[in-house]
A and B are shown apart, each in its own frame.
Chain A
């Protein structure tokens, strides 16, 4: 496994990270443990979760969140030093008026809840899960910086921010001598390349780490889903994940998948490996989050860390995406 520096920090993280959203949501504790053991064995160090991950996301009951962190916490015993632990705050985790967002009040309580569930006394990367329009950035950044000074958090990052919003936050951090967001977590894959326009140039210029989610387009880039056909049993598609259904409704995405298949076959790689190798070929990307729900998902993906696309292949990919009408 290769390790890359997270933005300008001195921290090295594995270029594939494990996304823990399935734990407690789609798979139970013992299956989650098998996935985690496999990931650790494969050399993955960065584990990404969030306080909201759990059954509550599907059941619409925010008080049922936290299962992913709880499972991760049980597994972590005796292994804490071997991993880099990332979690998030922002989403609704209860029905009260302050059970969400990035007020100092909620951040301070949310971090304690996460630490308790994770059974650790520090989080390596604490990320705000989205932009909070109802809290001044100053308030959130002061609170997050205090957490770094208290030793509860090592680095702070953000997710789902526009480039200008991170730039604004950096300005405030510089002005007030606070810690700054050292990473961002956007969506990025062969069917979602929008961050090439604004966010990636920003991250390159400002040396911000980029940990991308959905590098396989929520599974679409594995080739296991087909246009107009029912998703195979036991997949996320069959579980009815809403965002995946939206991606499957766009013909363009299947056109890209079909166009890429011969390129992957040429190399003797699976489509998923090809898609992952493409993401990792981008110089600004730090790590790609693999949202595995089975050990095989990890075993299939790991060889991609040794694969790199040639200039010709990168050109061919652009043509396929462009011809399908992707926003690149």
Chain B
């Protein structure tokens, strides 16, 4: 397993992060533990969870799994999504953040969370309020670093400016959606992360299962998340996605790889990416994703795979007026 430095924190994390969204949901505790142990065997030290995964059960199971090796683990959790019917049981107010972190720590059976993610943008709460609360949590030792998921790049950049101005802990890790069919992160998020030296752990490297090769263009999905969950159907239901997935699966098999392995390796090979988050329902499904750790994808190989889907248009497009020449050459 390769280990990489997370942004500017100095922390070394495995180049794969395991996501526990299945724990206590489609995977019972025994299956969850088997996956956890398999990840540890492969050298994974980086585990991602959230307070809302399966009503808190994911955190509870993960907490029990890591009891014997807590100090070797880099642990995350998240806050923002509704945790109950109460009007204040959601969002990024100081009130909800302070309550949520205590609940997460309790479920995880630990006294600190390495990376504490804001799960979404909360338009009702001032950024200053959220950033001050997270900074206090860092000083209290309950979290080591604030981190951010599902925010637009400009929202993150704005927050960095506020942290800088007020001397607060800044976001040290971004968790965006990124895979071969969802490449919007290449336009703003990934360049921002590179420029500001922030860690990046993308979720959905397999596009909700689309890039495993099990779904075919022109055929209605009969199993897996695309068949079972409306959210994934809306996210990946377009015919275009299935066409790319078909092309990609064909390419992977021609080159002797499981599509899932190559899809994870492709995400991992972006220079701004620290570690893709892999997830699974059971140990068997986990293996192809784990195998990505053995692949060293060269930039040329990466470009070949990138060509199988449409790159998003660049943020700015005025090359003839603003030549990108740098330094002194004419």
Q: Chain A residues in contact with chain B, CB under 8 A?
A: 50, 52, 57, 62, 90-92, 95-101, 129-131, 133-134, 159-168, 170-172, 174-175, 186-187, 192, 194, 197-199, 201-202, 205-206, 213, 242-243, 325, 327
Contacts and interface: CB of A to CB of B under 8 A. Distances in A.
23 contacts: A52-B321, A92-B325, A92-B330, A96-B328, A129-B321, A131-B316, A160-B316, A162-B187, A163-B153, A163-B315, A164-B153, A167-B153, A167-B157, A168-B160, A171-B158, A171-B162, A175-B164, A187-B317, A192-B313, A194-B187, A194-B313, A194-B315, A206-B158
Contact of B316 (A97, A161, A167, A327): A161
A91 B322 contact: yes
Contacts of B152: 163, 198, 201-202
Contact of B328 (A91, A97, A172): A97
B192 interface: yes
Contact of A163 (B188, B326, B327): B188
Contact of B165 (A130, A167, A174, A213): A174
Contact of A327 (B312, B319, B329): B312
A318 to B, nearest CB: 15
Contact of A197 (B184, B191, B326): B184
Q: What are the 3 A-B residue pairs with the smallest beta carbon separation, nearest first?
A: A171-B161, A97-B328, A167-B157
Among A96, A164, A171, A187, chain B packs the most CB atoms within 10 A around the CB of A164
B192 A134 contact: no
Contacts of A199: 154, 315
A62 B320 contact: no
A197 to B, nearest CB: 6
B101 interface: no
B161 A172 contact: yes
A166 B155 CA distance: 11
Contacts of B218: none
Contact of A134 (B191, B310, B326): B326
Contacts of B192: 162, 164
A165 B187 CA distance: 12
B322 A90 contact: yes
A196 B192 CA distance: 18
Contacts of A62: 330
B165 to A, nearest CB: 4
B318 A133 contact: no
Contacts of A161: 315-316
Contact of A171 (B165, B188, B326): B165
A100 B326 CA distance: 9
B295 to A, nearest CB: 29
Contacts of B155: 167, 202
B240 interface: yes
A50 B318 CA distance: 13
Nearest to B311: A327
Contacts of B189: 164
Interface string B165-196: 10000000000000000001001110110001
B156 interface: yes
Given A97-B328, A130-B316, A164-B153, A92 B323 contact: yes
A98 to B, nearest CB: 8
Nearest to A135: B326
Contacts of B310: 327
A173 B109 CA distance: 43
Among B165, B240, B317, B319, chain A packs the most CB atoms within 10 A around the CB of B317
B165 A162 contact: no
A95 B323 CA distance: 13
B161 A170 contact: yes
Nearest to A185: B318
Contacts of B162: 171
A105 to B, nearest CB: 13
Contacts of A174: 161, 165
B320 A57 contact: yes
A257 B72 CA distance: 59
Given A91-B322, A198-B187, 4 more contacts: A168-B160, A171-B160, A175-B164, A194-B315
A160 B322 contact: yes
Given A95-B330, A166-B154, A327-B312, A192 B317 contact: yes
Contacts of A164: 153-154, 156-157, 188-189, 191-192
Given A130-B316, A160-B316, A162-B191, A167 B154 contact: yes
A53 B186 CA distance: 31
Contacts of B191: 162, 164
Nearest to A134: B326
Contact of A162 (B315, B322, B328, B330): B315
A327 B313 contact: yes
Given A198-B154, A325-B240, A159 B161 contact: no
Contact of A133 (B154, B187, B315, B326): B326
A171 B330 contact: no
Contact of B315 (A96, A167, A198): A198
Contacts of B317: 160, 187, 192, 243
A57 B329 CA distance: 17
A104 B188 CA distance: 27
B161 A162 contact: no
A202 B159 CA distance: 13
Among A91, A167, A186, chain B packs the most CB atoms within 10 A around the CB of A167
B312 A91 contact: no
Contacts of B327: 97, 134
